[in-house]
Structure 1
């Protein structure tokens, strides 16, 4: 197998190189992406259920939502099914094409646009909520402040951002990828590895995790306030799938994580972080 990287990008512009890499990789895997995410096994099921409950439980009918890094519509579609007024943004046209087909098949619609999180193609005060699950990890570190400033700009006063990212504090304790089968995080090299693709090739894309402090600082810098920080899988991440296959144990873990996930220090020790932050009314 070979590792593919985009060609003819100037090494003098690392930010553009990283974005080109992400675009190139997702163009190649778009048609198979939904087969790859999520992974298989009880631990993945608990993780995905917690992720969905956090996001979808906060979305109301009629709410104007921008799903950033929406990809193939993993969350865009269910939010639209709940009656939210959806817009989507993604750097990959190929991923958006899949999302558009899925929406059409369900008789749903959304304003899906190809574009960059660092320059969101919507006016000021356009949305009640901005969501982004996992996609922020592809943002070059140098552009993080600009992305968060753009989020604040497009949110209405009192609007909020809901996000999910991998937790770099957890990675200090365990560098392996606990919930992955084919798309694996390479923590030391700050990459996401796409293995066992239909083409037979492997691909890599830049992938940067966040610490709770980094997220709090990024929001504070743009004048937003973190109102909830939940640790996803602070217990399940340490248990083998053979243990979690026992439904009684899995149920107990789920109940415990619903409580501990919002309680420091467990909220800062989850495998991933689920965060809500609010833009002030003024």
Structure 2
């Protein structure tokens, strides 16, 4: 799908505004961060880093990853004057060799639903490798994914099993689109 390439997103991030630009911190992310994370937080598909910045401002170590170099450059510029800054990395969420875990928490707001089935499997493998057993991974995904794969609780549960347990799924109208938040907990091995 051409709309899931880094070049496509680079072009979008060069614009002053994107369709997916978030101004508010979702309450689901705020609640996740309140749990604390001594080993850090991973923000997948971080875009211009607004959520990563929020996490860092809450006193947690956070690493934001996005495959758009333009987005990561904007994220770094956004936090340049901050006393506490996230780490930002240009990277593919299906191949995060530059990172080592464990992280206590991870989240993804709008990345997973852009992946095809093969990429989703690789994504799950990487999150499983990086997230500590018992760690939580939070996803926000459109019900009608741009990748054309149906996403509902059963599909997410199947894709993440047996490495993760789906603990909760909550319908959302985020950005006025039908979507869900999914809370997954990393299984002990």
Relative CO higher for 1 or 2, CA cutoff 8 Å, sep ≥ 6?
Answer: 1
Q: Name the CA distance, whole Å, in 1 between partners of 2:148 and 2:45.
A: 14
Q: Name the CA distance, whole Å, in 2 between partners of 1:37 and 1:98.
A: 15
Q: How big is the shift at 1:38?
A: 4.6
More helix by share: 1
Quick check: 1:219 aligned with 2:126? no
Partner residue, 2:11: 28
Structure 2 stretches lacking a partner, 5+ long: none
Report if aligned partners of 1:167, 1:212 keep a CA contact under 8 Å in 2: no
User: Counterparts in 2 of 1:110-149, with a 5 A limit?
Assistant: 110-120=86-96, 121-123=98-100, 125-149=101-125
RMSD (Å), alpha carbons: 2.7
Quick check: 1:231 aligned with 2:138? no
Partner residue, 1:202: none
SS at match of 1:109: coil
CA 1:69–1:102: 2 relative to 1, 3 Å: same
Bigger radius of gyration: 1
Report if aligned partners of 1:163, 1:275 keep a CA contact under 8 Å in 2: yes
TM-score, structure 2 normalization:
0.85
Quick check: 1:98 aligned with 2:74? yes
Quick check: 1:59 aligned with 2:36? no
Structure 1 stretches lacking a partner, 5+ long: 1-16, 40-47, 169-186, 191-205, 238-269
Q: Name the CA distance, whole Å, in 2 between partners of 1:155 and 1:122.
A: 11
SS at match of 2:138: strand
Q: How big is the shift at 1:37?
A: 3.7
Q: Name the CA distance, whole Å, in 2 between partners of 1:230 and 1:146.
A: 24
The number of aligned residues is 186
Q: How big is the shift at 1:33?
A: 5.5
Partner residue, 1:210: 151
Match of 2:143 among 149, 167, 178: 167
Report if aligned partners of 1:69, 1:89 keep a CA contact under 8 Å in 2: yes
Q: Name the CA distance, whole Å, in 2 between partners of 1:88 and 1:149.
A: 18
Q: Name the CA distance, whole Å, in 1 between partners of 2:37 and 2:148.
A: 33
Report if aligned partners of 2:133, 2:187 keep a CA contact under 8 Å in 1: yes
Q: How big is the shift at 1:26?
A: 1.6
Partner residue, 1:173: none
Quick check: 1:279 aligned with 2:186? yes
